[in-house]
Structure 1
Amino acid sequence: MADANKSMKLVEICKVAPQYVDQEFSLPLTFFDILWLKFPSVQRLYFYEIVSSSKNSFFFDSILPKLKTSLSLTLHHFPPLAGNITWPQDSPKPILSYLRGDAVSVTVAESDADFHHLVSSNSFNIEAKEYHPLVPQLEVCHEKAAALALQITLFPNNGFSIGTSVHHAALDGKISTMFVKSWAYICKHESDLVPDELKPFYDRSVIPDPTRIDLIYSNHFLNMDLERPNNRSLMPLQFKAPQPDSVRGCFQFTPTKIEAIRHLVKEKKQQQQSIHLSRFCLTYAYAWVCIVKAEEIKSEKIQLAIAVDCRSRLDPKISENYFGNCIGGRVVVVEREGIFGKDGLVVAVTAISEALEGLDNRLLDGAEAWIEYIQPQADKLISVAGSHRFRVYDTDFGWGRPRKCDFISNDRTGAISFSDSKDGDGSIEIGVVLNKQCMEIFASLFANGLEDL
């Protein structure tokens, strides 16, 4: 396997500030944001192939200047992303603010790693660590934490990648994806404007919090270190590093296979025709069962985290472009023997379906306790990152669709990443990180199960 660390050359580290932003900008964090205050940064990679005959000079003479200029113009619409999260002594909770002089750190590098290997669709031939040099580290200290950092890496004569690191307390996956799409739009169209569907909505008053969950979460962090009361440190919690032999797996559910899973579940659940059978529910359940079996999870109670975008579920509904976090969910618990039984898939689908239906009327029930799950877990808790609805493969900066998009941070959190397919055929692409032996078992279970449908 290739080693992406072997010949990374730093070209420059620069700061890109928002254009035309004179006013300072401050946003109080809501409980949806504070929930993620100590979570590691969320990292994603976008790979692009260069088709010009003079590929390297084209990158430095055309691509890189356009990316920087368009980034500055994009930050005009997203000034908080050039800023920092802080927790002032006179504030009961953290804030996200942009101050004059704030800017996004952009690393430019060159890599001799094998571009075609890194964008390969082969199931699990990429070591987890191979992507690490391609994403930047957020600047974080006890007093402040950057909202965003970027890295642009050239693979000479092949292409380039854009790596993003986002502080999860600043915004969720929906809006971080919207930001990158806004950047791509401005770059491709050489404009300083974005269409309405890419304009962020900043009004924090639309988030209901009558029981002051924001203060419950804030006080949790203030008092989590008994030896240091009133601890406002913004340093993230330490999640488990990936095992040395961890590999990345990329797997697809085609529309035909998703329909076959739906048909199978319907057949076995004839007495409950109302069961929720969305594409997310079906594919998440299928992947969940494969992981539980591949890792031979021993716990008698198997846990799964369900996360949903709450923007359209709140009452009243809020803007789809609401800037920040707006993720709610449930933790589903099922008996191990049910998942490992012959109808394990139906058990999983039923559990996820019931959890999703429960969110419709009791969205924020138990929200005071959500923070218990946003921390390194002693027991295995499988979760999800991203969504096929984000359509990340539509992110075209002017040089074509990405050759590959991938989550990087799921090798620490253990999440299953979801996205649309690069083929644009309606398939759902999932990404998992497992040790090599477990990945081989997972791949076999995944393929054989679909083959038998």
Structure 2
Amino acid sequence: MDFDYLVSNDHPRNAKDIYHFVPHLTEPKDVLGVQFAPVLAIQVTLFPNHGISICFVNHHIVGDGSTIVGFIKSWASLNKYGGNDEFMMIPFYDRSIVKEPYGLKGLLWDDMKKHKSTADHVILTPPDNIVRGTFIIRRNEIEKLKKLISSRRPSLTHVTSYTVTCGYVWACLIKSEDTDTDIIIDDNVMEYFSCTVDYRARFDPPLPSSYFGNCIVWYIVKTRHVDLVGNEGFIITAESIGETIHKRNKDKEYVLSGEWLDEDDHLFKFLSVAGSPKFDLYATDFGWGRPEKWEFVSLQTGILMTLGKSKDSNGDLEIGLSLPKTQMNAFAAIFTHGLEEIKI
């Protein structure tokens, strides 16, 4: 496999190619009515005279994105600095400081049992027509999007790099679906967007940023398909995402009572986000220099986008998508043209 081809952002790559370097979690075992399941697998692949790839596969029960990124960075620091605590963030495990007056712990446990799956160890290989694409949105383009939404919705209080980037990608993705003449989507079909929010700092008292485990909630945004394919698509998506995050962040009772747990059940068409503009995996250095490329393996086709800091410039963001090749080409054209046409 060509190392330079795999790490390039200049062209879509066959989605199946990356799976040669992905380890597999072994199947869960049932012992006396108790299920034991592996939670982590790591595979290191050597590309002679070019480099190596390091791939992590973990069960989500281990931790959320913040936890896994922290684990990767700690491992890299140990390798580079030989265990010098000055360069490490010590994980925090104490669950007793979590205050949840509404019995959220029990609700989460019931929800886990309800959604129990025997196939969590299975990583599905994508079909042959699926490609992976990486898109960079520059800092100045993000600022243009912020100014655009602020000028069109001056009363909107929550305008961030996250809301405008996700809103822009969501709108472009919906428009790229409509370029496929073989797919007819009813105008009144509801489109859903799901984002996760790190809740560590929002507890009272707040949890340390090094809290090891899962501490996220998800918010659901919805709007009609027909509203997203017109000229106002981005304005509507950015406004909807911003308003939802602002509203839910202020409503601690909504979060701590677990009302959000069932919101993603039975959703038909949705886009969710893995990663965060705060995640800087390109700063991870095992002692060999910065990585050439990072990817989220579990990029389900058309329903997940990845987001993180870009390698090349402070303030730029990197977006990952996995789509059928024809739709990826349409998305790329819409994405690029839309940014070029922004007039402030």
1:220 deviation in Å?
A: 4.3
**Shift of residue 216, structure 1, vs aligned partner:** 2.9
Judged with a 3 Å threshold, the aligned counterparts in structure 2 of structure 1 residues 402 and 411 are, in CA distance, closer, same or farther, namely same
Task: Give the structure 1 partner of residue 86 of structure 2.
Answer: 195
AA in 2 matched with 1:337: V
Which amino acid in 2 is paired with 1:139? T
Q: Give 1:374 deviation, angstroms.
A: 6.3
Instruction: Identify the match of residue 161 of structure 1 among 47, 53, 57.
Output: 53
CA offsets 1:408-430 (integer angstroms, 9 cap, x no match) = 10136831100111113320000
Aligned equivalent of 2:324: 435
Residue 145 of structure 1 is aligned with which of 10, 18, 37?
A: 37
- The question of 1:133 aligning with 2:20 is answered yes
1:335 paired to 2:224:
yes
- Taking the TM superposition and a 5 Å limit, the aligned residue runs for 1:193-342 are 193-195=84-86, 198-222=89-113, 235-236=119-120, 242-270=126-154, 272=155, 274-296=156-178, 298=186, 300-342=189-231
Measure the CA separation in 2 of the matches of 1:418 and 1:311: 20
1:267 counterpart letter in structure 2: S
Shift of 1:333: 0.8
Question: Shift of the alpha carbon at 1:170?
Answer: 1.0
Residue 190 of structure 2 contacts residue 269 of structure 2 at CA under 8 Å; is this kept in 1? no
Counterparts of 1:429 and 1:209 in 2: how far apart (Å)? 35
- 1:349 deviates by 0.8
1:233 to partner: Cα distance: 6.8
Instruction: Note if contact 1:306-1:384 (Cα within 8 Å) is conserved in structure 2.
Output: yes
Deviation at 1:370, TM superposition (A): 4.1
Q: Aligned equivalents of 1:138 and 1:192: distance in 2?
A: 28
Which residues of structure 2 form unaligned runs of 5+?
30-34, 179-184
Sequence identity (%): 33
Per-residue deviation, 1:156: 1.1
* Alpha-carbon offset, residue 371 of structure 1: 4.2
For 1:153 and 1:241, locate their aligned partners in 2 and report how far apart those are by CA, in whole Å. Answer: 18
Q: Equivalent residue of 1:275, what SS?
A: coil
Would you say the 8 A contact 2:302–2:322 is kept in 1? no
- Residue 335 and residue 414 in structure 1: after superposition, are their counterparts in 2 closer, same or farther (change >3 A)? closer
**Alignment RMSD, CA only?**
2.3
Q: 2: distance between equivalents of 1:241 and 1:300?
A: 29
Q: For 2:123 and 2:264, locate their aligned partners in 1 and report how far apart those are by CA, in whole Å.
A: 11
8 A contact 1:312–1:318 mirrored in 2: yes
Partners in 2 of 1:402 and 1:444 — Cα distance?
Answer: 28
SS of aligned partner of 1:150: strand
Counterpart of 1:446, as a letter, is: F
Give the residue type in structure 2 aligned to 1:163: C
Shift, 1:175, TM fit: 1.1
Distance in 1 of aligned mates of 2:119 and 2:99: 28
Deviations 1:324-365 (A, max 9, x none): 011112101112222122111111111011111112221451
Q: Aligned to 2:254, which of 342, 360, 365?
A: 365
Distance 1:424 1:171, change over 3 A: same
C-alpha distance in 1, partners of 2:138/2:191? 27
Amino acid at match of 1:194: D
Instruction: Give, in angstroms, the shift of residue 241 of structure 1.
Output: 5.8
CA contact (8 A) 1:306 1:355 kept: no
Three-state SS of the structure 2 residue aligned to 1:411 is coil
Q: CA deviation at 1:195?
A: 3.4
User: Secondary structure of 1:200's match?
Assistant: coil
The SS at the match of 1:303 is strand
Aligned residue number for residue 87 of structure 1: none
Structure 2 distance, partners of 1:233, 1:392, is: 30
Paired residues of 1:329 and 1:359 also in contact (CA < 8 A): no
- Structure 1, gaps ≥5 residues long: 1-112, 225-231
Aligned residues, how many? 329
SS for the counterpart of 1:260 is: helix
> What code does the residue aligned with 1:183 have?
W
How far apart, in 2, do the equivalents of 1:329 and 1:219 lie? 17
Q: CA deviation at 1:221?
A: 4.8
Measured against aligned partners, the alpha-carbon deviations of 1:201-241 in whole angstroms (never above 9, x if no partner) come to 001123333333333343345466xxxxxxx7754297976
Cα deviation, residue 387, structure 1:
1.3
CA deviation after TM superposition for structure 1 residue 288, in Å:
0.6
Aligned to 1:178: 70
Q: Which residue of 104, 115, 122 maps to 2:3? A: 115
Q: Could you tell me which of 267, 282, 286 is aligned with 1:393? A: 282
Q: Which has the larger radius of gyration?
A: 1
The one-letter code of the counterpart of 2:8 is S
Secondary structure of 1:408's match?
A: coil
